[in-house]
A and B are shown apart, each in its own frame.
Chain A
Amino acid sequence: MRTVAAGFRFQLGLMPRNPSNWMILAAMPLQAVVFLSIITYAGREDLVGHAIIAPGVMAIWTMALFISGEIITQDREYGTLEPLIITPARLPLILLGRIGAVTLLSMLAIAESWAVAYFGFGLRPSLPHPEVFVAAVVATALAMAGTATMLSAILVHSRAARVYSNSLSYPLFLLGGVAVPVTLLPAWTQPVTHGVFLSWSTELLRASMTPMPVTSVPLRLMMILLLGGVSLAVGLMLFHVILRRLRSTGSVSAQ
């Protein structure tokens, strides 16, 4: 646990020093304006939950991909991966701490989005189920950290994966029901959407912002955590394989 905490503290100290770490949060209000203007112009202020959650979740995902996903690749480029590997602390635990810090900060995106709706558009989003909202945010953060671990491993493993991972965002936002419920997508996509943790997260987050009772909360939270847990397990397993190979081939710092 101390190792995870050390990774967490290190990343928190590192983030303000590099503009690429905060630029997603800095550009986030404009993304919120895009969604909020669409629903306001259409006179559908009842959809404010969609317009707040969508840009927030998009920013969280983008930070997971571009900051958490690049941690090991950057350490490798800076030459700091070797000393990390030879220290007695386990690298995956340091990584988990660092990814945890990025994920926690990325949650600010939802608060930013809410602030733009409130101050920029004069909307007054309600939160009839705050306990569900908080639980969904926490579960989403944990699942995102698990997914970021997997992404980080995949990005270290394959250069080609980077080209595709950059392109993955919008297909995933569609299948994750980030702005629009997945039920509006064609029927053939439905089975796929159930395997994307974001589809469970966004539905639950939006449901917590409507006055109707929220059903099956434990099951939905469990699905978010389960899918995030599977990603975490895959990520850790991949790291184990990758690190063993890098050590045995002596190519830890090779580009």
Chain B
Amino acid sequence: MSLDQVRFRPAELLLQAAQVGFADFRAQYTLRTWLFGWITRVVSQVIFFAMLGRLIGSDERTSFLLIGNAVAIASIEAFQVIDYTASERRAGTLPMMITAPASPLLGLVGRSSVLIAAAWVSSSLALVVAGWFFGIGLTPATVVMVVPAIGTVAFAAFGFGLFIAAVTVRLTRFSSFLSNLGYLSLLAFCGVQVPTDFWPAPIQHVTSVVPLTHGLRGVRELLADGPSIQAAAHLLLEVAVGVGWLAVGALLLRRHIEHGRRAGTLDSMA
């Protein structure tokens, strides 16, 4: 049987690639460095921004900043997909994935999907721990309700990150910069620090189609009023945003791969 005749089940391939991605993640962090390094950092980041609410002298602002910055953590970590994709090219693994008979797109998405899980956990932990620091104790019932909502933000940010990764796949030297720029833009304009209507209308139009905006609104509504149709609608919109960017990113990546195959430039970098 030739390699062309080999058939792969997409779910199986995704799962295997995700296992490889998890192994990569474990090489990057041990449980100790993840907990005392990364989690300490993200919790401190949330406390740092929420303290500005204390400086302003408003409990309402403190709570707004705390929730916004905790949920935004999901987008920082999910955005690392940009750097992950660039590193596949730098490490020379991208041409190998492309020449393999299985879909390189599924391989790429699967390998970096560990970031969705990591982002989800980091953001949820940051919300709970920073909330405890400020005396905003979340009940177990609230946590059970809010954690899945944070998952929608992690997923949507991953989709958008994959799109940026596809746009910039030939500019690997700039991957960290673009990842930071993307994340800082979300942090500034998507309702994390101030409501989105603070910004001029053109910025509001843009933020309505990028991750975090709707998901964060959904989380805020869940925390304020409990489950509601409105909160569910915001979260569904967040998922839709994620699916949209993931699809566009996957199409762009496929185009780059086909172009790179024809031009023989898959392993050249800028």
Contacts and interface: CB of A to CB of B under 8 A. Distances in A.
Are these two chains actual partners, yes or no? yes
Nearest to A165: B37
Interface in B178-199: 180-181, 184-185, 187-188, 193-195, 198
B174 A170 contact: no
A76 to B, nearest CB: 19
Given A171-B44, A174-B47, A42 B180 contact: no
A34 B177 contact: no
Contacts of B58: 42
Contacts of B47: 174
Contact of B33 (A31, A163, A168, A181): A163
Contact of A34 (B176, B180, B188, B198): B188
Interface in B159-186: 173-174, 176-177, 180-181, 184-185
B177 A38 contact: no
Contacts of B37: 163-164, 166-167
A20 B51 contact: no
Interface in B40-58: 40-42, 44-45, 47-49, 51-52, 54-56, 58
B184 A30 contact: yes
A30 B181 contact: yes
B177 A27 contact: yes
Q: Which of A35, A42, A47 has the most CB of B within 10 A?
A: A42
B173 A19 contact: yes
Nearest to B178: A23
Q: Which of B47, B52, B195 has the most CB of A within 10 A?
A: B52
A162 B61 CA distance: 34
Contacts of A41: 193-195, 198
A50 interface: yes
Given A180-B54, A180-B55, A34 B193 contact: yes
A164 B41 CA distance: 9
Nearest to A43: B56
A224 to B, nearest CB: 21
A26 B40 CA distance: 27
Nearest to A169: B41
A196 to B, nearest CB: 13
Interface in B69-106: none
Nearest to B45: A170
Contacts of B194: 37-38, 41
Contacts of A166: 37, 41
Nearest to B28: A163
Contacts of A185: 51
A174 B41 CA distance: 11
Contact of A31 (B40, B45, B184): B184
Contacts of A33: 188
A174 B48 contact: yes
Interface string A1-43: 0000000000000000001100100110011011101110110
A163 B29 contact: yes
A181 B61 CA distance: 17
Interface in A138-173: 160, 163-164, 166-171, 173
B238 to A, nearest CB: 21
A19 B178 CA distance: 11
A23 B176 contact: yes
A35 B188 CA distance: 9
A47 B55 contact: yes
Contacts of A31: 184
A179 B193 contact: no
Contacts of B193: 34, 37-38, 41
B33 A39 contact: no
Contact of B176 (A20, A170, A171, A173): A20
B33 A19 contact: no
B45 A164 contact: no
Given A30-B184, A30-B188, 8 more contacts: A23-B176, A31-B184, A37-B198, A42-B61, A167-B40, A169-B41, A170-B44, A179-B55
